[in-house]
Amino acid sequence: MSSKTAIYLCTCATNISDNLDFEEILNFASKLEDVAYVKVHKLLCSEEGKNFLSSDISKEKPERIVIAACTPKEHEKTFRNVLQKIDFNPYLFQMVNIREQVAWVTSDKSKATEKAKSYIRAAVRRVSMHEPLEKKELDCNTDVLVIGAGPAGMEASLLLAKAGRKVYLVEKNSFIGGRVARFEDVFPKMECATCMIEPKMDEILHHENIELLTCSEVKEVLGFLGNFKVKIRKRARYVDKEKCIGCGACYEPCPMRVKNEHDYNLSERKAIYIPYTGSLPNVPIIDEEYCLRFGNKDSDTCKEALELGLITQEEYDRFAIHDCTICRDACPFDAINYDDKEELIERNVGGIIVATGFELFDPSIIKELGYGNIQEVYTSLEFERILSQTGPTNGKILMKNSKEPQSIAIIHCIGSRSKDYNNYCSSVCCLYALKFARLVEKHLPSAMVYDIYADWCIPGKDNQAFLDSVKSAKNIQFIHTSLPMNVEIKQNGDKIELYYNEISNNRRKISTDMVILCPAMIPAKDTPIISKMLGITLSNDGFFAEGHTKLAPVSTNIEGIFIAGCCQGPKDIQNSIAQGAAAAGEILSALVQGKKLELEATTAEIDKELCSGCMTCISLCPYKAIFVDTNKVAVVNEVLCKGCGTCVAACPSGAANSKHFTTEQICAEIEEVLK
């Protein structure tokens, strides 16, 4: 044991001393083996207390220090900073919690005093085994990776780029803008969505600090705040962005017609296509799955195309022999490049913002709603495309038989606020349902709208006035039910019949031409994959979990990784953009140019003699900090290790140890507590 351990006892004003016999503790602690002295102070965390500690330690020159006070969560860092400033190794210090764990929870004063004595004895033994650890410093990269180019991702990217940061904006689609870019108007002021978002999209495309990677997905992320290494898979577009001017000459003659998923299958596109008129960047992409060139005579694509009459027998034979080159031949700018290849791009960044958006709950799961079986039952996103000038009907509200509907039912809360599906409110459905009603009124003034709702969720300063104005429209009837999702929808001839329970529980029926369902916003499909890749946790509903619901809404459990927009939970455009801005602000304050990052000193280490090379630790380390060396034993990368101790607990050979939390140190501490 060390011969000079100093103990400082804090009374925490009277918070601790009221419930403990300090005289007895002082007596006991002074007599512990190798304790040089024990001193009492009334508030060690105060400025006066910190000054006392500095000058007393400098004068007395103890070798190790125990401070018995409040929880280490509150002031361990405070005291370590004091020690660091006077060049005392902060790891030769142990803190004992005699407030939350003793004085505040043990009402019997004599029992509390005994408990405090045993904790102090354990700390003295433990600190005698501590090693003086050194913190290392590392340069910090201030570039940023943003995943997802919807409203939140674009906002974050632009703010960072304007602040002089290099941004890598990765978007899995061939275009940017997310779903909003495909909307017609947005609530409550009925502004044109495209006019609103296009200037931002344009800035993204032309900002010198933004490298936009469309058709791309992040495949691997290693590292930590200030030093992430990222691998991005970029799919081949087969069209040279530098040469293409977006004239569209290539996709018109392409013989392959397929359903356009970007119009939710309500329109067709070619195998070479842009998803919708006005999408940016205005450069087509070749869909390998449907392009005849990438198929062959026996492929399902070619056979199906022949069977469906999409190509003639002659074309079938010609493509099989010569391969299709129609789009290349049609392009006046030699922009089509069939030799384009997938790339694996590597980038180093200091911070990451995840803004991967949402998906809609699939209403076909609820059979009674008829979605997928009854032709004129649509989801809200499908109806957004029907309303859009760039959509399948050029903004005209038409049924599949090209006639205008005379009546439309809009049903709220499909798969939301339900224990069976999603037990949360999607927060925007009421407002966009009102927007739909307003747009139907504008485009089809004589049509009747039935708005079937349960409760109104319309927070925000302009939204109540919007509800009031829509409520005053004469052709819009609001139907209050307890659970809109329980509506039963049936086809009856040309009409659709809706059976529902009024709030009074009376069964009613209405007959309409068209039905719009407002399904819950749910996490995007790749959310669990991204969560695993980045090590960021999910909340119970499957969205990315924020650091704290109120205090850290865009942080995650991993330092340097932030979330923004609907990947964190359902929200409107305004709130998505606010979160994008907040995430950019977090990165700007965390990653300052020229500032060094401090590395964790309490990392894990592996005893080469004991390691059997089983690799258990490698698969479990959440920071991917362990690798196997040439001798087939595990080695910890101290730069990546955060000292979480997962490997220590998991190693079947007992080869992994955590500095500052060694098995010997912990066992010695427990032994003293139990004496």
305 forms part of the interface with ligand SF4 (CB under 6 A) = no
Q: Which is nearer to ligand SF4, 256 or 517 (CB)?
A: 256
Interface with ligand SF4 includes 306 (CB under 6 A)? no
Nearer to ligand SF4, 57 or 335 (CB): 335
Q: Is 129 in the site for ligand SF4 (CB under 6 A)?
A: no
Number of residues that bind ligand SF4 (CB under 6 A): 26
Q: Closer to ligand SF4 at the Cβ: 267 or 557?
A: 267
Report in angstroms the alpha-carbon separations of 363 from 319, 367, 369, 371, 475.
40, 8, 7, 6, 27
Structure tokens at 592: 């300052």
Question: Over the range 481-518, which residues count as b (16 or more CB within 10 Å of their CB) and which as e?
Answer: beebbbbbbeeeeeebebebbeeeeeeeebebbbbbbb
For residue 452, state whether it binds ligand SF4 (rule: CB under 6 A): no
Q: Note if the bond before 188 is cis, omega within 30 degrees.
A: yes
State the nearest-atom distance from the C-beta of 140 to ligand SF4, in Å: 41
Least distance to ligand SF4 from the beta carbon of 258, Å?
10
- The residue type of 216 is S
Distance between CA atoms of residues 245 and 335, nearest Å = 9
Q: What is the smallest separation between the CB atom of 305 and ligand SF4, expressed in angstroms?
A: 9
Cβ closest to ligand SF4, residue 306 vs residue 330:
330
Q: Is the CA virtual torsion 375, 377, 382, 385 positive or negative?
A: positive
The least distance separating ligand SF4 from the CB of residue 237, rounded to whole angstroms, comes to 10
What is the rounded distance in angstroms from the CA atom of residue 648 to the CA atom of residue 626?
12
Q: Which is nearer to ligand SF4, 285 or 447 (CB)?
A: 285
> Could you tell me which residues come within 8 angstroms of residue 127 by beta carbon, excluding any fewer than 6 positions away?
2, 5, 64, 65, 66, 92, 93, 94
Shortest distance, position 320 Cβ to ligand SF4, whole Å: 13
What lies within 8 Å, CB to CB, of 497 at 6+ separation is 489, 490, 491, 509, 510, 511
Q: Which is nearer to ligand SF4, 283 or 411 (CB)?
A: 283
Write out the DSSP string of 174-231.
SS-STTGGG-SEETTTTEEHHHHHHHHHHHHHH-TTEEEE-SEEEEEEEEETTEEEEE
Least CB distance from residue 271 to ligand SF4, whole Å? 4
Q: Is 611 in the site for ligand SF4 (CB under 6 A)?
A: no
Interface with ligand SF4 (CB under 6 A), residue from 13, 105, 192, 245: 245
Closest listed residue to residue 116, CA positions, set 68, 71, 65: 68
Tell me if 333 contacts ligand SF4 by CB under 6 A.
Answer: yes
147, 170, 335, 647: which one binds ligand SF4 (CB under 6 A): 335
Shortest CA distance to 637 belongs to which of 222, 230, 141, 350?
Answer: 222
Segment interacting with ligand SF4, rule: CB under 6 A, options 178-186, 215-223, 245-253, 573-581: 245-253
Task: Say how far apart CA 498 and CA 509 lie, in whole Å.
Answer: 5
Contact (CB, 8 A) for 169 and 204: yes
Distance in Å, CB of 272 to ligand SF4, minimum: 4
Taking alpha carbons only, the member of 545, 571, 542 closest to residue 180 is 571
Under rule CB under 6 A, residue 311 binds ligand SF4: no
**Which parts of 295-379 fold into alpha helices (H)?**
300-307, 313-322, 326-330
Q: How far apart are CA 538 and CA 386, in angstroms?
A: 34
Stretch that binds ligand SF4, among 46-54, 183-191, 330-338, 479-487 (CB under 6 A): 330-338
Among 154, 324, 458, 518, binds ligand SF4 (CB under 6 A): 324
Spatial contact of 367 and 291, defined as CB atoms under 8 Å apart: no
Stretch that binds ligand SF4, among 51-59, 193-201, 239-247, 512-520 (CB under 6 A): 239-247
Distance CA 15, CA 22 (A): 12
Q: Do 190 and 438 contact (CB within 8 A), yes or no?
A: yes
| Cα–Cα distance, 369 to 356 (Å, whole number) | 29
Taking CB under 6 A as the rule, does residue 272 contact ligand SF4? Answer: yes
| Beta carbon of residue 211, minimum distance to ligand SF4 (angstroms, whole number) | 21
Applying CB under 6 A, among 69, 160, 169, 254 the residue interacting with ligand SF4 is 254
602 token code pair:
């309490």
**Residue 326 C-beta: closest distance to ligand SF4, Å:** 4
Picking from 319, 251, 249, 326, the residue whose alpha carbon sits closest to that of residue 285 is: 251
Q: Which of 150, 151, 226, 284 binds ligand SF4 (CB under 6 A)?
A: 284
**Is 248 among the residues that bind ligand SF4 (CB under 6 A)?**
yes
Tokens of 132: 């003086």
SS3 at position 511: strand
Stretch in the footprint of ligand SF4 (CB under 6 A) among 34-42, 258-266, 267-275, 541-549: 267-275
Longest dimension (CA), the chain: 103
Closer residue to ligand SF4 (CB): 46 or 325: 325
Q: Which is nearer to ligand SF4, 45 or 250 (CB)?
A: 250
Q: Which helix (H) or strand (E) holds 272?
A: strand 272-273
Report if residue 331 touches ligand SF4, rule: CB under 6 A.
yes
326 scored as a contact of ligand SF4 (CB under 6 A): yes
Select from 139, 120, 142, 144 the least CA-distant residue to 65.
Answer: 120
Residue 350: CB minimum distance to ligand SF4, A: 36
CB of 309 to ligand SF4, least distance (A): 15
* Least gap, CB of 450 to ligand SF4 (angstroms): 44
| Residue 215 in contact with ligand SF4, rule: CB under 6 A | no
CB of 337 to ligand SF4, least distance (A): 9
Q: Which of 327, 447, 584, 601 binds ligand SF4 (CB under 6 A)?
A: 327
Interface with ligand SF4, residue 278, by CB under 6 A: no
Q: Which of 196, 222, 249, 650 binds ligand SF4 (CB under 6 A)?
A: 249
Residues that bind ligand SF4 (CB under 6 A): 239, 244-250, 254, 256, 270-272, 284, 286, 291-293, 324, 326-327, 330-331, 333, 335-336
